[in-house]
Chain A
Amino acid sequence: MLLRGLTWLVLFQLLGTALSVLLLPMMPGPIIGLVLLFLFCLVRGEVGEPVQLAAGSLLRYLPLLLVPPAVGVMAYSAQIMNDFWAITGALILSLLLSLVATGWLMQALIRRQARRGRRA
């Protein structure tokens, strides 16, 4: 079951890679694969149990998979140190502001939609 689901996921990722090379060089293969799998589920009207199992297992370990790219920080310590304050300041401030703005805006829009729905 798990293996069958994994095979599907790998298949969609490879399809995405092929499309990325052929048609859409600015989109990475995995993102195209995501869209393709989503469309596939839409057409079928359900997510197969194997895919659901494999996706759940992989996503549970998503943070683990992100550790190796994060370790890449060590290779660029010199460049980061050069512009340390500008980088940290910009990263932290813009992150905090846009995070709150996003959450707040989305919630405000949801509430507005709910109010409209009630009035209609």
Chain B
Amino acid sequence: MNLAWQVAWQAVVHHPLFGVGITLAVYQLAYLAYERTRWVVLQPVLVSMVLVIGILLLCGIDYAEYRRASDLLTVLLGPATVALAVPLYLNLRRIRELFWPTVLTLVGAGTLATVLGVLLAWLFGAERMILMTLAPKSVTSPIAMLVAEQLGGVAALAAVFVMLTGILGAILGPELLRRFGVQHAAARGMALGLTAHAVGTAQALQESEECGAFAALAMSLMGVMTAVALPLAVSLIL
């Protein structure tokens, strides 16, 4: 009897749909908690991440297996990235009006975000591998992983830093921007998308469509700029 239960349990836990199942369930729970409380620390991605890790540890599943099991969701990230073209296009008129502020902010603040991260980590005594992995932390993970690898960092770890940066940005960003008197929807979107990529963009889309459009714009431009300029800059400096 006991054995039968155990076999059934193993079959459920290692079923290819288990990863998708817990992710879906946990995300809805986390979203509900966030909706009810509106408490910024309950950022849905963060809460879901913690709960999923807890469940995986309890069930004795390692990350490699979970990643295979959640492929069904991850594979949709590609089309979702492509879909960002739509809010971008729908707000084209606004973006055109603010063309120069956007370009200048992108170059100035984008460089600052990258340089500051590496400089601070270097001051705090992190090793070179970590520095090169931290450099692309503000861009969306597929680009960050590629760039980190080119620089001599670790791709998978880069994805982790990217996610941590994104989650922190989405949690702290809106309140921080409000404190510093940044109310303009375009400026808020720009800040969230440029520093906190997709997670920040998801947050910005909830604020308003214009905010989300500028976040999507900042995220894609920052990604392109990092992919092109960062490997070049590092090879010139080192």
Taking Cβ atoms with an 8 Å cutoff, the residues of A that contact B are 6, 9-10, 12-13, 16, 26-31, 33-35, 37-38, 41-42, 47, 51-52, 54-56, 58-59, 61-76, 79-80, 83, 85-87, 89-107, 109-110, 112-113
Residue of B nearest to A30 (CB): B81
Asked whether, in the complex, the Cβ of B120 is within 8 Å of the Cβ of A59, the reply is no
Taking Cβ atoms with an 8 Å cutoff, the residues of B that contact A are 19, 23-24, 26-27, 31, 44-46, 48-49, 52-53, 56-57, 62-64, 66-67, 70, 73-74, 76-90, 92, 98, 100-102, 104-105, 108-109, 112-113, 116-118, 120-121, 124-127, 130, 134, 137-138, 140-143, 146-147, 150, 154, 156-157, 159-161, 163-169, 172-173, 176-177, 180-184, 186-188, 190-192, 194-196, 198-199, 201-202, 205, 218, 220, 223-224, 227-228, 231
Residues of B within 8 A of A61 (CB): 80
Asked whether, in the complex, the Cβ of B227 is within 8 Å of the Cβ of A56, the reply is no
Considering the chains assembled together, what is the distance between the CA atoms of A71 and B82 in angstroms? 23
**A104: which of B63, B89, B98, B182 is its contact (CB, 8 Å)?**
B182
Given known pairs A47-B90, A63-B44, the reply for A86 and B195 (CB within 8 Å) is no
Asked whether, in the complex, the Cβ of A30 is within 8 Å of the Cβ of B78, the reply is yes
Instruction: Contacts A28-B143, A66-B199 known; list 14 others, CB within 8 Å.
Output: A26-B228, A33-B81, A34-B220, A41-B86, A58-B83, A65-B77, A70-B163, A71-B49, A74-B63, A75-B62, A95-B113, A99-B192, A103-B190, A106-B184
**B195: which of A37, A41, A58, A98 is its contact (CB, 8 Å)?**
A98
**B85: which of A41, A66, A92 is its contact (CB, 8 Å)?**
A41
Give min CB distance, A87 to chain B, whole Å.
Answer: 6
Residues of B within 8 A of A91 (CB): 117, 134, 137, 161, 164-165, 168
Asked whether, in the complex, the Cβ of B125 is within 8 Å of the Cβ of A59, the reply is no
Residues of A within 8 A of B53 (CB): 71, 73-74
**B205: which of A62, A66, A93 is its contact (CB, 8 Å)?**
A62
Residues of B within 8 A of A55 (CB): 83-87
**B184: which of A37, A54, A107 is its contact (CB, 8 Å)?**
A107
Given known pairs A34-B81, A34-B85, A67-B52, the reply for A87 and B101 (CB within 8 Å) is no
Asked whether, in the complex, the Cβ of A73 is within 8 Å of the Cβ of B163, the reply is yes
Residues of B within 8 A of A106 (CB): 101-102, 105, 109, 182, 184, 186-187, 190-191
Asked whether, in the complex, the Cβ of A102 is within 8 Å of the Cβ of B81, the reply is no
Considering the chains assembled together, what is the distance between the CA atoms of A99 and B56 in angstroms? 33
Residue of A nearest to B111 (CB): A98
Considering the chains assembled together, what is the distance between the CA atoms of A62 and B150 in angstroms? 28
Given known pairs A47-B90, A68-B73, A71-B63, the reply for A63 and B187 (CB within 8 Å) is no
Asked whether, in the complex, the Cβ of B84 is within 8 Å of the Cβ of A34, the reply is yes
**A26: which of B159, B196, B227 is its contact (CB, 8 Å)?**
B227
Residues of A within 8 A of B143 (CB): 27-28, 31
Give min CB distance, A89 to chain B, whole Å.
Answer: 5
Residues of A within 8 A of B89 (CB): 38, 41-42, 47
**B63: which of A59, A62, A72 is its contact (CB, 8 Å)?**
A72
